[in-house]
Amino acid sequence: MLIFNATLNQLLMILSLVLAGFVLRKAKLVPDNSHVILSKLETLVFLPALNFATQIKQCNPTTFKENSSLILFGALFLLIPIILALTLPYAIVKRKKRDLTEDYRRNIYKYAIAVSNYGFVGNFVILGIWGEELFFKYTLFTFSFNIACYALGLYLLIPRKEGDGFFKCIKRALLSPPLIAMILGIVFGLCGVSKYLPSFLLTALDNASSCMGPIAMLITGLVIGTYDIKSLLLDKRSYLMAFLRLVAIPSTILTIIILLGAPEELFILALVGFASPIGLNTIVFPAAYGGDTRPGASMVMISQILSVITIPLLYLIFSSLVK
């Protein structure tokens, strides 16, 4: 019930901001391109600030030495959804001829399978139930998730043009502000540079980081408000994607953890990290770069609602089997 209540509270918080964005859009109280402008701010200001501030505080030689196994376990388990993401979308969106629209939709599904909403939902659940000590370990467990989130997000979710090759797209991802900020934060954190930074700069980073979540949820509501709700709910592919993200993938990983006889702590970290709903980046990045936001809007809305049921159920089913 603790996990159920924490997930429910997070869902209600998300839905309240999503609803605010939805009402603003439907009532035409904001310009039609508001979601595009806000998405640009997310990718150019708020996301880089969050990445840099998080890494510079949490990355240091001691944490890498004492908790390196959590970083390794998180990276190894993350390979499972990434491998599935490379194959399953081709069965979901079958390609009869070269169609950039269908190719892009397939990329959205790839990202949705590979990366969960381990940040907004996961952070809240861990902090609300197990506190700051486990939350610190959760940030290390999801260290590789951060890299996958922004590297895959910028590679898959930025619409490609004819002639955009693999290396050109990778270059765009590596030179993106969120990924550059993350790398700088890691380097600065390991070198202990944070204590030399002026307090006003750290405060500015913290304040900008705090904007990331609420703005992302408002963007979700603004984008959903541009569509007919009924059409989003009737997208059968979104339910399939929600099942993969909320049930199939976490169940597979939790089964492996139980068979390996891993401790309960690792079980909790994996449950929250992999059973969280589909990430908001399926909306944020396409909105920022003029891509198709309909698939992401449908998947996010459906998976957020269903996660309030699936996360507690997975915990109840698997927790009794953990040593």
Tens-place pLDDT, residues 117-135: 888 778 777 877 787 677 8
User: Residue 278 corresponds to which amino acid?
Assistant: I
Residues 268-278, mean pLDDT to the nearest whole number: 92
Are 287 and 39 in contact by the 8 Å Cβ rule? The answer is yes
Residues in Cβ contact with 290 at an 8 Å cutoff, skipping those fewer than 6 apart: 36, 159
- pLDDT of the residue at 203: 92
- pLDDT digits over 14-43, tens only? 788 889 999 999 999 999 888 888 888 988
- pLDDT of the residue at 73: 93
Whether the per-residue pLDDT at 53 is higher than 90: the answer is no
Are 60 and 140 in contact by the 8 Å Cβ rule? The answer is no
4-8, 101-105, 137-141: range with highest mean pLDDT: 137-141
* Fold classified for 2-319: Na+/H+ antiporter like fold (1.20.1530)
Q: Quote the CA–CA distance of 236 and 170 in Å, as a whole number.
A: 31
Q: Where are the domains of the chain?
A: 2-319
- pLDDT of the residue at 78: 95
- pLDDT of the residue at 274: 95
What are the residues facing 278 on neighbouring strands? Answer: 116
Q: Quote the CA–CA distance of 68 and 261 in Å, as a whole number.
A: 19
pTM: 0.79
Could you give the 3-state DSSP secondary structure of residue 320? Answer: coil
> In 3D, which of 238, 243, 242 has the Cα closest to residue 227?
238
Could you give the 3-state DSSP secondary structure of residue 13? Answer: helix
Residues 90-113, mean pLDDT to the nearest whole number: 75
> In 3D, which of 20, 56, 82, 78 has the Cα closest to residue 216?
20
Are 209 and 46 in contact by the 8 Å Cβ rule? The answer is yes
What is the end-to-end Cα distance of the chain in Å, rounded? 21
- pLDDT of the residue at 154: 73
Q: Quote the CA–CA distance of 162 and 262 in Å, as a whole number.
A: 47
